[in-house]
Amino acid sequence: MTYTERCHFWTYSDQKRKIMDAASAIIETAIKFQRYGRLEEAEAIYREILKIEPSHVGAMHNLGLVFHSNGKYKEAVEIIGKAIIQSPEVADLHSNIAASQLALGLPISAATHATKAIELDFNLGEAHYNLGNAQFSLGKTNDASRSFQYAVELDPKNDQFWSNYLFSLNFSPSTDQKEIFKANCRWGLSLNHHEDEITFNNDFNPDRPLRLAYFLPELERHVTARFLSAMLKHHNRSQFEILIYGYAENRGPAPKSLSNFVDGWIDVADLTIDLVAEQMRRDQVDILLHPCTFKARYRKLILYNAAPLQVACINLVSTTGLSRTTHLVTDSFLSPPDETEHFFTETLIRLSSFNVYQKPEHAPDVAPLPAIKNNYIVFGSCNNPAKLTADCLSLWTNILKSIPSSHLLLKHQSFDNTETCESFSNQFRDMGISRDRLIFLGYTQDINQYLEAYSLIDISLDPIPFGGGTTTYESTWMGVPVLTMVGEGIMGRLTGSIMTRLGYPEFVTYSHDAYVSRAIEIVSDLSKLSEIRQNLRIAANTYIFDAANYVGELESACRDIWIKYCNDN
């Protein structure tokens, strides 16, 4: 977000100009406070200026940015909105109010202001970025990718712009794996590769116990911790020393689900990414297991050669595009041998499964099939609406039309907001599906209360082209099978891999027509569907929540690549 450092397009009387000149001098101090995180002091100055001159646009704007930084998004929208009334032709105002509206879950309003900002100043990268985020949250992923691409072209050094651009490509129906690979490599080549030769002081004995490190930034922001929680307790501590380098957003202690099962938790909140790598080298980490390369900004650690071997694993969507990522963990369903290697800069490690998820503790019991009581089928999805592209909604509409009494339940925190619900309702309405056949459910803080939503769903529908991951694990644990259409790439094939390993390949399809016809076929036999529901958790516990087996395979792979590295060097 951009600070207002000068006045725009105002005319003053001599007396008012003197007041404004004094305010401008004071506002410089506030801006300095703001830059260095002294938000309370900056806020006090802006408030004082507004007491003297209530229409001071710069003070209103920057006070709005302080509110945004403090998570007071409603107040930010209100005060920046007042500034826009005073100066409607200032692009920064429209761009920054869009950012706060996005934080409030108002993507349509945000898109309107971001578009206005671009009309006023096409070269404002933040405006394209905010527009992309609004489009992305509404499932308009082709448009979002274009907006993020504009942002990258305007500011090619901005990690966040690149991160969202590369991530969004995986959701876009018009983007193939070749293009995704090229874009990731283009990002990798754009970076300073830090060519200084790094000397590792590790003991290159192929048979000794190894030191493995996981990198886990921004702990509360994503679900990677749930995958790690399943794994850590199963490491063979006689052969592997386990370290985690990370930080919690609130600077609190590491969760016991992580820290109780490792040899060390190293807080790196105050370190830049190059210093994190330096710390890992100093600690003589043998293999970096990077579990969250799904966002490009998290990948930059790899550039600094944190360890002799650097492995992308667990939560990823594509190649990292970095030659210094030596390996990437996948499985044979996601990355068929001899067919997919050319989409990766890394050497592929194929385990029997791509990753493993933490079984929800105290989860509700599997509920009876709701169709038996309802006398109609409820299809459902708890995925991020960003995955609900126009192609996806069209596919699901064909199912709803083929089964006239059926309903569709959509659950995500975005559906707490009327704008988002209306956007998707209107899209379905335009395709012939009335509002009364749609069920929107919003945010549920408690994981087990969230899982209760599956008691309302007969069959989960996997989105296209970017399918479910966490939601597929959770759905199957609650006894709800997931119908999927296999696409390209890791996230286009993950649900297919999971349902195949569970022993239910009939839920895996390979075309739009097959997806629709399979849905019709499945709901025609409710007794069989009810039987699947009662048996699915048992199968899931055996085949996809077996963390001990997964960790054993991962450790064997780590040992194999370490032996090869030692022999080669």
Structure confidence at residue 22 (pLDDT):
62
Pick out the chain residues at pLDDT < 50.
5-13, 15
Cβ neighbours around 361 below 10 Å, total: 9
Query: What does the domain layout of the chain look like in residue ranges?
Result: 14-190, 210-356+549-568, 370-545
Residues 6+ apart with CB under 8 A from 87: 8, 9, 10, 57, 93
Structure confidence at residue 9 (pLDDT):
35
CATH number of 210-356+549-568: 3.40.50.11380
- On the question of a common fold for 210-356+549-568 and 370-545, the answer reads yes
The single residue listed with the structure tokens 């100055």 is 45
CATH number of 14-190: 1.25.40.10
Which tens digit of pLDDT belongs to each residue from 72-113?
Answer: 999 999 999 999 999 999 999 999 999 999 999 999 999 999
Structure confidence at residue 297 (pLDDT):
80
Amino acid at 97: I
Structure confidence at residue 123 (pLDDT):
98
Structure confidence at residue 146 (pLDDT):
98
CA 291-230-501 angle, 5° bins: 90
- The two three-digit tokens of residue 198, written as one number: 């790094």
Cβ pair 399, 433 in contact under 8 A: no
Helix axes 73-86, 57-69, angle to 10 degrees: 160
On the question of a cis peptide bond just before residue 465, with omega within 30 degrees of 0, the verdict is yes
Structure confidence at residue 211 (pLDDT):
98
Q: Which long-range contacts (CB under 8 A, 24 or more apart) does 367-375 make?
A: 367/454, 367/455, 367/478, 367/479, 368/530, 368/533, 369/458, 369/526, 369/529, 369/530, 369/533, 370/455, 370/456, 370/457, 370/458, 371/458, 371/523, 371/526, 371/529, 372/526, 372/530, 375/405
Structure confidence at residue 7 (pLDDT):
39
Burial pattern 459-484, b for ≥16 Cβ within 10 A else e, equals bbbbbbbbbbbbbbbbbbbbbbbbbb
Which tens digit of pLDDT belongs to each residue from 345-360?
Answer: 999 999 999 999 988 8
Structure confidence at residue 11 (pLDDT):
41
CATH 3.40.50.2000: does it fit domain 370-545?
A: yes
- The two three-digit tokens of residue 511, written as one number: 């075309």
Query: What's the whole-model pTM score?
Result: 0.91
Q: What's the rounded Cα separation, in Å, for the pair 500 and 331?
A: 12
Cα–Cα distance list, 325 to 211, 300, 313, 351, 456 (Å) = 18, 10, 11, 18, 43
Structure confidence at residue 5 (pLDDT):
45
Q: Is the alpha carbon torsion for 384, 389, 390, 393 positive or negative? A: negative
Structure confidence at residue 253 (pLDDT):
62
